[in-house]
Amino acid sequence: MYLYNEQDQKIVDQRVEQFRGQTRRFLAGELDEEEFKQLRLRNGLYVQLHAPMLRVAIPYGLLSSEQLRMLAHIGRKYDKDYGHISTRQNIQFNWPALERVPDILAELATVQMHAIQTSGNCIRNVTTDHLAGVADDEIEDPRQYCEMVRQWSTLHPEFDWLPRKFKIAFSGATYDRAAVQVHDIGIYIVKNEQGETGFKIIVGGGLGRTPIIGVTIREFLEKKYLLSYLEAILRIYNLEGRRDNIYKARIKILVRALGIDVFKQKVEAEWARIKDAALLLDGETLTRIQQHFAPPVYDKNAAADVSFTRWLSNDKAFSTWVTRNVVKHKVDGYRIVYVSLKAPNAPPGDISSEQMDTVAALADQYSMGMIRTTHDQNLVLADVKQHDLYELWHVLDKHQLATPNIGTLNDMICCPGMDFCSLANAGSLSIARQINQCFDDLDYLYDLGDIKIKMSGCVNACGHHHVGHIGILGVDKNGAEFYQFTLGGSADNRISLGKRLGPAIAHAKVAQTIEDILLVYKNERFEGEVFLDTVQRIGIAPFKARVYGQPEVKPGSKSETKRKVESNASY
């Protein structure tokens, strides 16, 4: 991972002191609410319903065990003993006291962490594939480029006051696990006809209230031009993006208004002017950063282990967990482990301080001391020897971190919703709870296969509902919480925005609606066909008919016996 040098450290240290001064000026009445808001957002600090919320950056989702221990400590000392992994691979604390935030940031700085640019109208934390460096479908490890972009975008003097927030994502694999095409700038690492590695640049994607899939602005960009090309895009956006209407201020609206050809022409004219100057990446810079992401030293004998297969056949619970939560590693004898933060009795993405300490210790013992966060709100231990999986599983299981539900219906993406967020129109956590209570039979979930439910409490779409196979959006109908369903969305290479199912559904009917949808899928699917494929093949009509046309369920059907009464238990 990238390790700070003296200069990196100085930047975060000085930023902490700057923010301490800003907080003092605010508390002394020298900065008004709005001015302080602009400054605190750029340091990750929101003011939410109950308390401030601090969003700490996890650059491209990569953490050391030492950093995770610090996050556990922050949770314990300044918050209510937990944190929440966000859909952009960051971590959020929901209960810090405003006047103590400078102290939190100072503690974070001791382990090379910060909250710089995790909010506000600036370039946000760069995200990437959580399997970077270990996936077997990878062209090149994207983290080195993420780090270059992190450095370029951190405290960039020109782009701290953009028309609106700006999100960049990278994928270096053939399968897109980073939702690249719904970012302001999405970057795929690709090979050209000559076999050289470079970048395909996509611009103007985004979710929010106007979901748009990005368009390709450049099919192939040589590596050395990465930063100059980004700078040219940002400059055109900063100068020409709309500032009169917050809902029309994202780059996607500018790209759409100008058309990609005109937008590209402007970007490339600017790029031509700057491309061979200060931002040109020379071989030395590339190598210097690449060194930080060199593969760890793997045990050559790891594949010789025979205990793993023995445990697989002797322990059903273990083998179930391996099937769902463990995936192939590019190195033989190693596996990638998903640490599920989707235990049925907890809000999706939440992790207690004690669990963080546990994962940090496991990372040290079994996975090179590193942890990744995923945009699906789970964690990954990326370099585990197959020999160690059984022991690892026992510890994870003991700490409610081994629910074997990765990729299933219960592995929901969910924003904090009305329980915490002042923007939300409806709760999303209570819906997650309802779904978990209704679908608690793992065998049934496994039979349904891979299904991504993504849920947002308002149109800002923090839960990425547009790209959920089943998307759920909370809306307010005369003070009551209703939920708008979309079907057939996808965030991977075959990107698509979900289609609206019909009128919004009442709060109490959400789980039942999902059951109805799944019943149609089960009846219609071909052998081995996953939910998304069925939806895309048969279209939305049969689902619509089931949900709105024939509300009653046949007595004795599988679906009927699975239904449970919603309880009022709360998190």
Partner 1 sequence: MQVIKDSCIVEYPWSLLGEETPLGKGNAALSLARYRAEKATLLVRDSAAGRIGIVINCDTSLAEIADELEAISLVVFDCQLYTDGRVFSQVRLLRQQYGYPEDIMVIGDLLQDQLRSLERCGVNVFWPRDSIDLTRVLPALSEITVRYQSS
Binding site for partner 1 (CB under 8 A): 7, 10-11, 14-15, 17-18, 21-22, 35, 38-39, 121, 151-152, 154-163, 235, 238-239, 243, 273-274, 278-279
Smallest gap from residue 7 Cβ to partner 1 (A) = 5
Smallest gap from residue 232 Cβ to partner 1 (A) = 11
Task: List residues bridging with 187 in a β-sheet.
Answer: 170, 201
Q: Where are the alpha helices (DSSP H) in 376-462?
A: 389-398, 429-438, 442-448
Tokens of 71: 């996050």
Q: Which residue in the block uniquely carries the two structure tokens 């779409």? A: 461
Nearer to partner 1, 35 or 440 (CB): 35
Smallest gap from residue 189 Cβ to partner 1 (A) = 22
Nearer to partner 1, 35 or 219 (CB): 35
Smallest gap from residue 151 Cβ to partner 1 (A) = 4
Nearer to partner 1, 18 or 307 (CB): 18
- Angle of helix 260-274 relative to helix 251-258, nearest 10 degrees, comes to 110
Nearer to partner 1, 151 or 534 (CB): 151
φ, ψ (nearest 5 deg) of residue 286 = -55, -45
Smallest gap from residue 264 Cβ to partner 1 (A) = 18
Nearer to partner 1, 114 or 372 (CB): 114
Nearer to partner 1, 7 or 478 (CB): 7
Nearer to partner 1, 278 or 569 (CB): 278
Q: Which residue in the block uniquely carries the two structure tokens 């046309």? A: 549
Sign of the CA dihedral running 404, 57, 10, 296: positive
Smallest gap from residue 268 Cβ to partner 1 (A) = 15
Nearer to partner 1, 185 or 501 (CB): 185
CA angle 559, 549, 516 (to 5 degrees): 20
Nearer to partner 1, 231 or 350 (CB): 231
Rounded to whole angstroms, the Cα distance separating 365 from 7 reads 31
Nearer to partner 1, 120 or 133 (CB): 120
* 66 three-state secondary structure: helix
Q: Where are the alpha helices (DSSP H) in 330-411?
A: 353-366, 389-398
Other residues' Cβ atoms within 10 Å of the Cβ of residue 196: 11
Residues 396, 362: contact at Cβ < 8 Å?
A: yes
Nearer to partner 1, 60 or 483 (CB): 60
CA angle 321, 72, 66 (to 5 degrees): 85
Residues 426, 460: contact at Cβ < 8 Å?
A: no
Residues 369, 64: contact at Cβ < 8 Å?
A: yes
Nearer to partner 1, 120 or 349 (CB): 120
Smallest gap from residue 124 Cβ to partner 1 (A) = 15
Smallest gap from residue 116 Cβ to partner 1 (A) = 11
User: Which distant-in-sequence residues (6+ apart) come within 8 Å of 39 by Cβ?
Assistant: 19, 22, 31
Residues 466, 489: contact at Cβ < 8 Å?
A: yes
Tokens of 92: 């959020």
CA end-to-end span of the chain? 35
Smallest gap from residue 25 Cβ to partner 1 (A) = 9
DSSP H or E stretch at residue 517: helix 510-524
Rounded to whole angstroms, the Cα distance separating 87 from 126 reads 12
Smallest gap from residue 484 Cβ to partner 1 (A) = 32
Rounded to whole angstroms, the Cα distance separating 8 from 13 reads 9
Smallest gap from residue 274 Cβ to partner 1 (A) = 8
Rounded to whole angstroms, the Cα distance separating 466 from 277 reads 40
Tokens of 212: 């748009």
Smallest gap from residue 155 Cβ to partner 1 (A) = 7
Residues 75, 83: contact at Cβ < 8 Å?
A: yes
